[in-house]
């Protein structure tokens, strides 16, 4: 963010952005930053100390957010029984027909769930869904035969986290319209989930840095006392 922007200058009036703050205080600071004209997403950013080139040190997982994500999630279900999926709350459902649409460029959904049987067919479009982060995966709970439970979990605010090639993770944990208490509770849930996802083979300083920000705000750095135990 450009340092001369009006919003950045406004943030500097609230806090010293070069300092680290306890998580609860950082959430309070974020609430005082100048707001955008829309309900911004609050994001928790983490930098890990793992080796991104080691196959057994990839960090990914899911966690429910106690207060939801505040985001309307459009769910697609790959299944041979689309009516049951729609009845359970899916926004779109089907198999060969949906796959044909996706191959033509249609991607109007946020999360894809697949039944175990359907997954055998869905793998043929992995090259399309994979790069978009939309490929169903057992580790993220999106390959399941309990479609109704899968849809409910995603719609209720279950979020997925996955480390990128530079060992960073970014997770949306709510909206600016949430109360600081709701944001704080969601942030703790993500920190705990990432902490539990620590690779068994890793030895050393796991979570190196954490920061919190909104869509159009600078980041507020979090003091290590809030994540050092991980």
Query: What pLDDT score does 219 carry?
Result: 92
Q: How many other β-carbons are positioned within 10 Å of the β-carbon of residue 153?
A: 18
The answer to whether the CB of 10 falls within 8 A of the CB of 34 is yes
Query: What pLDDT score does 72 carry?
Result: 87
Domains identified in the chain and CATH numbers: 13-69+158-226 (3.30.190.20), 75-155 (3.40.50.790)
pLDDT, tens digit, 9 for 90 and up, residues 171-217: 999 999 999 999 999 999 999 999 999 999 998 899 999 999 999 88
CA 178 to chain centre: 17
CA nearest to 212, candidates 182, 168, 178, 172: 172
Q: Is the pTM of this model over 0.85?
A: no
Task: Using alpha carbons, list the distances in angstroms from residue 211 to 80, 207, 216.
Answer: 43, 11, 14
The two tokens of residue 155 are 């719609």
The answer to whether the CB of 61 falls within 8 A of the CB of 158 is no
Q: Which residues of the chain have pLDDT under 70?
A: 1-4, 7, 10-12, 14
Exposure b/e, 74-102, CB count within 10 A at least 16 = b: ebbbbbeebeebbebebbbbbbeebbeeb
The two tokens of residue 124 are 């043929």
Query: What pLDDT score does 2 carry?
Result: 43
CA nearest to 147, candidates 95, 191, 105, 196: 95
Query: What pLDDT score does 217 carry?
Result: 86
Query: What pLDDT score does 3 carry?
Result: 43
């Amino acid at each position: 963010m450009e340092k001369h922007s009006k919003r950045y200058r406004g943030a500097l009036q609230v806090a010293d952005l070069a300092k680290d703050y306890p998580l609860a205080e950082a959430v309070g600071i974020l609430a005082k930053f100048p707001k955008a004209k829309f309900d911004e997403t609050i994001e928790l950013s983490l930098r890990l100390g793992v080796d991104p080139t080691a196959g057994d040190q990839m960090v990914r997982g899911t966690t429910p957010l106690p207060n939801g994500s505040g985001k309307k999630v459009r769910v697609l279900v790959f299944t041979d029984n689309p009516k049951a999926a729609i009845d359970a709350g899916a926004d779109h459902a089907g198999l060969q027909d949906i796959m044909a649409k996706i191959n033509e460029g249609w991607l109007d959904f946020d999360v894809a769930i697949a039944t175990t049987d359907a997954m055998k067919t869905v793998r043929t479009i992995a090259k399309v869904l994979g790069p978009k982060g939309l490929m169903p995966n057992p580790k993220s709970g999106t390959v399941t035969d309990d479609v109704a439970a899968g849809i409910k979990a995603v719609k209720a605010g279950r979020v997925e986290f996955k480390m990128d090639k530079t060992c960073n993770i970014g997770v949306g944990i709510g909206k600016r319209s949430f109360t600081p208490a709701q944001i704080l509770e969601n942030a703790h849930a993500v920190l705990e989930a990432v902490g539990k996802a620590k690779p068994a083979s890793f030895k050393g300083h796991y979570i190196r840095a954490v920061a919190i920000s909104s869509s159009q705000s600078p980041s507020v750095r979090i003091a290590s006392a809030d994540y050092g135990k991980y």
